[in-house]
Amino acid sequence: MDKEKVKTKSFEVAPVDNINKDLELVNQHTVKPLTADEVYMFKVVLCDNDVDRVNDKMTDNFLVEYAQASKGLTGLKDHDWESDNQLARLYDTEVVTDDSTLTKLGEPRKYVLGKAYTLTKYQDYIDKINAGLLKESSVSFDSVGDTCSICGAVTTKGEDDVAICPNGHVMGKEYDGKLCYNSINKLKDSYEWSLVAVPCQRNSGIKNKNLDNGGMSIMKKSMFMLQKLLNSKAFKEADEETQKALKEAVEKYWTETGKKKVLPAIDGRFLRTRHKHSLLNVLFQSALAIVMDYALHFWIS
């Protein structure tokens, strides 16, 4: 099952001893080397192996693949892909095993811990992290070959992101004492991570303050925010019938032709989205980005 997903979790972590070593890792992702005074570094738990609110569970293999693929991944604000909302970047990741904490299934907890950096000039962003106002995080990715934990059949995506087993097993129910869940087995692609609002995994989020003090607060993570562009002046001033017709046309294409996975952009490329409520947001944002891309091309030419 192709699936774009939001996940995260956090856990208490030990302080990082060698800040200079971390700065070397940060500068592998920069054009101009940065100094310690220019960078704010923090830790964030990106995903783990526990069963989440929609009864999805990442396998150990998936966690390893995600950790490898997410190094260098951009941190956005509210999953908004506009360049001004690119505020952080992961410079290191690792899979951590915590034998002292058990998952819902009674397994030792494993999670992907990321180290991220932002610029100290983004003081408002840093202040909100430290104050716990930007404490939730989420990641977006595609997975393939998700399976039912009971029968091993490949699942498909249903309403509200709950997986559907072709053999009728219901996610979240127990069969002969075994919980039925959707096993996320293989990573297809990783896109970005964000600081947002409502975590899909129950203990997800940012972990820390600065790396040199190894902050101990556990902060939680979240799914995508409501589309901002639907609140734009242009959309609000359209009459109700026009708004409804546009939304219905886009939703119909996404459901029937796009198989609840993709929408066509204005230049023909496919836009991947799994949330019905964000279709117009994705469509409008991509159109703006494409138009600006063409404008820049013509300006340079």
- pTM higher than 0.85, yes or no? no
What residue type is assigned to position 238 of the chain?
A
Structure tokens at 152: 């091993």
Q: Are 47 and 112 in contact (CB under 8 A)?
A: yes
- The reported pLDDT for the residue numbered 111 is 92
Average pLDDT, the chain: 77
Query: Over the stretch 134-171, which tens digit does the pLDDT of each residue have?
Result: 776 778 888 999 999 999 999 998 777 789 999 999 99
Q: Does 178 share its domain with 292?
A: no
Q: Does 183 share its domain with 292?
A: no
Query: Over the stretch 200-229, which tens digit does the pLDDT of each residue have?
Result: 555 555 443 333 333 222 222 222 333 444
Q: What domain range includes position 82?
A: 3-207
Q: Does 196 share its domain with 258?
A: no
- The reported pLDDT for the residue numbered 233 is 55
Mean pLDDT of 277-281: 82
Q: Does 26 share its domain with 168?
A: yes
Residue 86 falls within a domain, yes or no?
A: yes
- The reported pLDDT for the residue numbered 175 is 97
**At 80, is the pLDDT very low, low, confident or very high (cuts 50, 70, 90)?**
low
* pLDDT for residue 194 is more than 50: yes
Please give the DSSP secondary-structure letter assigned to residue 154.
B
Main-chain phi, psi angles of 233, to 5 degrees: -60, -40
* pLDDT for residue 248 is more than 70: yes
Question: Which of 174, 207, 240 is a domain's end point?
Answer: 207
Residue 223 falls within a domain, yes or no?
A: no
Q: Does 84 share its domain with 116?
A: yes
Give Cβ neighbours of residue 298 (< 8 Å, ≥ 6 apart).
Answer: none
Q: Does 183 share its domain with 252?
A: no
Q: Does 141 share its domain with 74?
A: yes
Q: Does 148 share its domain with 252?
A: no
CA 68 to chain CA centroid, nearest Å: 15
Q: Which residues pair with 94 in a beta bridge?
A: 113
Query: Over the stretch 229-247, which tens digit does the pLDDT of each residue have?
Result: 445 555 566 677 777 888 8
Residue 217 falls within a domain, yes or no?
A: no
Residue 146 falls within a domain, yes or no?
A: yes
Question: Which of 142, 176, 207 is a domain's end point?
Answer: 207
Residue 220 falls within a domain, yes or no?
A: no
Q: Does 198 share its domain with 244?
A: no
Show the beta-strand stretches assigned E in 103-135: 108-119
Query: Over the stretch 6-29, which tens digit does the pLDDT of each residue have?
Result: 443 333 333 345 677 889 999 999
Question: Which of 173, 207, 241 is a domain's end point?
Answer: 207
Residue 20: count other Cβ atoms within 10 Å of its Cβ.
7
* SS3 assignment, position 156: strand
Q: Does 186 share its domain with 254?
A: no
- The reported pLDDT for the residue numbered 219 is 27
Residue 3: count other Cβ atoms within 10 Å of its Cβ.
20
Residue 23 falls within a domain, yes or no?
A: yes
Q: For the stretch 40-72, what's the b/e string if a residue is b when 16 or more beta carbons lie within 10 angstroms of its beta carbon? A: bbbbbbbbbbbbbebbbbbbeebbebbbeebbe
Structure tokens at 176: 């002969």
Residue 222 falls within a domain, yes or no?
A: no
Residue 224 falls within a domain, yes or no?
A: no
Q: Does 241 share its domain with 197?
A: no
The more confidently predicted of residues 183 and 261 is 183
* pLDDT for residue 250 is more than 50: yes
Domain count for the chain, please give it: 2
Q: Does 142 share its domain with 272?
A: no
Give percent above pLDDT 70 in the chain: 73
